[in-house]
Amino acid sequence: MLQAQGALVFVEMEKGKLPSISKELLSAGRQVADWLGEPLVAMVLSEKEEIAKECIALGADSVAVIKGTAEILNEGYLPDEYLLAVKTVCESLSPRILLLPHSSIGSDLAPRAAIMLNTHWFSGCTTIRITEDKTITVVRPILGGKIVNNESTNCQPLVITVREKCYEPLEPDWNRKGDIQPLNVQFDSSGSPIKLLETIREEAGVKEGLKNANKIVTGGRGVGSEAGFKVLKELAEIIGGKAGSSKGAVDRNWISADYQVGMTGTIVAPRLYLAIGLSGAIQHMAGCGKSKTIVAINTDPEAPIFKYAKYGIVADWEKVVPPMLECLKK
Amino acid sequence: MRIAVLLKEVPDPDGEYFLDNNGKIDSQKLIRLPGIFDENALEAALQIAEENQGEVTVFSFGSKDSVITMRHCYAMGANEVVLIEDDLSKDYSPYVVALILSESLKQKGPFDLILAGRESSDFGNGLVGPLVAKHLDIPFLTLIRHIELTENKLKISRLANGGYDIFQCGLPMLLTITSEEYIPRYPSVLKVLKAKKREIKQMSIEDLGINRTNLDSLYKTSILDRSVPVVEGKCQFIEGDTVAEMARDLIEKLSGEGLI
C-alpha cells in the first residue's frame, strides 16, 4: 500500500463541460492540498484534453484521465463503472481525501466509494477545515440547517461530498503546469445488476435557469395564489431574472416544484434575491443564503427573512409590487 | 412479493432546536414523527404491494416511545411492524443502526425489495440504506422517485441533474426514495382506530444475537462541536409616507447599486 497523500477530486461533467460545482470542488481541493502541503489530483471521466487542461487551470496539480470512457459517458451514470474508475484511481494514488459533489451522482457514488474503501462518508458538507494538529474536519448542517455539526473521523481516506455554492471557483490560470496522466480501466458492464435504459433531461429547464440566474424573484406563502405568482413572474422578467418559490407555495399548488428554492430544491446564489411574502425558514435559506443582496417584502416585521436582508419593506406585497413594476417600465 | 421498509422516527423537522450545555441537541419537547423520506418509502412500498399482491413489513430501530409512530405505519396499511427497541437508539451511529436493521431483516426475511428514505430528516447521513445493502450483499440505488415492477424486474426512475435516469434491475434490491412522487396517504379514522389494536413486534438488540459490547468499535466519527447558526440582522428598512414611495425608493437603491 502506498503512503496516503494528497487530495483527489472526482470531477463531474455536464453535457461535456465542467459545471460550476466541479470548479467549486477544485477550489475546495486546492485549499485542502495547500494546508497539507500535498498534491491535488483531479479524476476526469472524459478524454477531452481541454477538460484536463481546465482542471489544471482551476487548481489541480495533475489530472487522471480515465481511458475507455467515451461510450460510458455517452450513456450517463453507471454506478458500478463509476465506482471501478474511483477504485482504480484510489489504488494508484492512495489519496488522503476524496472530494465529490453533493449531486445526484456524487451522493450515490460516495457511499459506494466509502464502503469499498472501508471508510466513512461525510454527506452534504458546506466547509472543510483543518485543526492545528492537521486533522481535517468538516462542517455539516443537520436538521435542515437548524444545527451545524463540526465532525471528524479517524478513518482514511476521508470521503466528503460538498454542497453547491459553498466555495468560489478559482480564477483560471492558464499558465499553471500539471501532468495529464491517462489511466486504463477495464470496464465490463455485462456483470452489473443495474442497467441504464434511458436518460431524460428537460431542455432549458426551470431548475437550470434558476441555478444560473443573476436575479431571482421568489415568492412564499404570503403570495397567496397562483395569480400572485404570475405577477412575480412578470417582475422577474422585467428585471431580466427568474422566478422562484418556497416549498410552502409549491405544496399549495400555486407553482410547480421545479421552481422550488431551498435545501431540497435548487440551490441558488444570485446577485439579487428578491424574497416576497416569504418567511425565510432555515430550510429555504439553506438554498439561497449565499445570494449577494437579499431584499425582503413581508407584512410581518418579525419574519426571519429580514435578518438576512439588506433592504426590507414591511408591507403587503400586492401594494408594493405594482408601483415597482410601474417604475421599472418607465 | 415481500417488501421491507426501513423507517426512523425523528423529532419534528419544523420544530425549534436548542443545544444544552454539553452541546447535545435538546428535542425533548418536540413531537416525534416518521422521517419525511422514510414515509415516502412506506408509501412507495404500499403502492407496489397493492399492485402486485405483496406485503409490507416496516422495520424501525427506536425507543419505547416510538410506538405511536409504529401505529401510524399500521394505519397507513403496513402488514407488519417490527420495532427493535433500545432506549439509547437516538445516539447510535449509522453503522450500528445498519447492522441491527440487517440482522432483523435476515431474521424475518428474505425480502424481495427493501426501501428506505434517501436520508433521515434529522442527521441526514444517507448511509443506513447503502450499508444495509452491503450487509445483505444485494445491490442498491439511491434517489429513486418512481418504481415500476413487471415480471420480477424493476424499472426505476432516479433523480439526475436537470431530469432523471431510467434504470432496470432485478430482485432483490434496496432503493432509497425521494419525496417528489410518493406523497404519503392520510389514513382514515377507521384505519387509525384499527391500528391501535394491532400488535407491534418488539425485539431487543440481544434478541438479534448481537453483543452490545461489540458495537463500540462501529463508531467511525466524532462530533467535535455543534452550534446553532446565528444570523446577524442588519436590514435597512425602507420607510415612506406611501407604499408607492417606498417601492420607488427601493428601485432607486437597487439601480444605484447596479442590481437592476
Q: ipTM value of the model?
A: 0.93
Question: What would the mean pLDDT of A91-105 be, rounded to a whole number?
Answer: 95
The count of C-alpha atoms lying within 13 angstroms of the C-alpha of B71, restricted to the half-sphere facing its C-beta, is 16
Distance of CA A246 to the CA centre of its chain: 19
The count of C-alpha atoms lying within 13 angstroms of the C-alpha of A75, restricted to the half-sphere facing its C-beta, is 16
pLDDT number for residue B209:
94
pLDDT number for residue A202:
72
pLDDT number for residue A103:
94
At A50, give phi and psi (nearest 5°).
-65, -25
Do B145 and A180 form a contact (C-beta atoms < 8 A)?
A: no
d(CA B225, CA B227): 7
How far off is chain B from A26, nearest CA to CA, in Å?
19
Asked whether residue B218 carries a pLDDT value surpassing 80, the answer given is yes
Question: What would the mean pLDDT of A259-268 be, rounded to a whole number?
Answer: 89
Q: What is the pLDDT of residues A35-63, one digit of tens each?
A: 999 999 999 998 888 999 999 999 999 99
Asked whether residue A258 carries a pLDDT value surpassing 80, the answer given is yes
Do B97 and B61 form a contact (C-beta atoms < 8 A)?
A: yes
Lowest mean pLDDT segment, chosen from A59-73, A260-274, B157-171: A59-73
The count of C-alpha atoms lying within 13 angstroms of the C-alpha of B129, restricted to the half-sphere facing its C-beta, is 35
Partner residue facing A208 (CB), from B19, B142, B162: B162
Instruction: Report the share of chain A in percent with pLDDT over 90.
Output: 76
pLDDT band for position B108 (50/70/90)? very high
d(CA A233, CA A218): 9
pLDDT number for residue A100:
98
Partner residue facing A315 (CB), from B155, B243, B257: B243
- Contact between chains at B121 and A144 (C-beta distance less than 8 A): yes
**Residue B219 touches chain A, beta carbons under 8 Å:** no
Lowest mean pLDDT segment, chosen from A5-9, A184-188, A193-197, A304-308: A184-188
Q: Count H helices, E strands: chain B?
A: 6, 15
pLDDT number for residue B4:
98
- Contact between chains at B160 and A282 (C-beta distance less than 8 A): no
**Residue A105 touches chain B, beta carbons under 8 Å:** yes
Is B8 in a helix, a strand, or coil? coil
Beta pairing class for A272-276 and B18-19: unpaired
pTM of the entire predicted model = 0.91
pLDDT number for residue A190:
75
- Contact between chains at B260 and A215 (C-beta distance less than 8 A): yes
- Contact between chains at B126 and A199 (C-beta distance less than 8 A): no
Q: What is the pLDDT of residues A172-214, one digit of tens each?
A: 999 999 999 998 888 777 778 999 999 988 766 788 889 889 9
Q: Return the number of CB contacts < 8 Å for A and B.
A: 205
Question: What would the mean pLDDT of A84-102 be, rounded to a whole number?
Answer: 95
Asked whether residue B14 carries a pLDDT value surpassing 90, the answer given is no
pLDDT band for position A70 (50/70/90)? low
Alpha-carbon torsion angle A250, A256, A258, A262, nearest 10: -10
Question: What would the mean pLDDT of B244-259 be, rounded to a whole number?
Answer: 94
pLDDT number for residue A71:
62
Question: What would the mean pLDDT of B161-170 be, rounded to a whole number?
Answer: 91
pLDDT band for position A167 (50/70/90)? very high
Do A6 and A38 form a contact (C-beta atoms < 8 A)?
A: yes
At B5, give phi and psi (nearest 5°).
-120, 130
At B81, give phi and psi (nearest 5°).
-125, 125
Lowest mean pLDDT segment, chosen from A6-10, A26-30, A55-59, B160-164: B160-164
pLDDT band for position B146 (50/70/90)? very high
A302's grid cell: 418579525
Asked whether residue B228 carries a pLDDT value surpassing 70, the answer given is yes
- Contact between chains at A195 and B168 (C-beta distance less than 8 A): yes
**Residue B113 touches chain A, beta carbons under 8 Å:** no
Question: How many residues can be counted in chain A?
Answer: 330
Asked whether residue B35 carries a pLDDT value surpassing 70, the answer given is yes
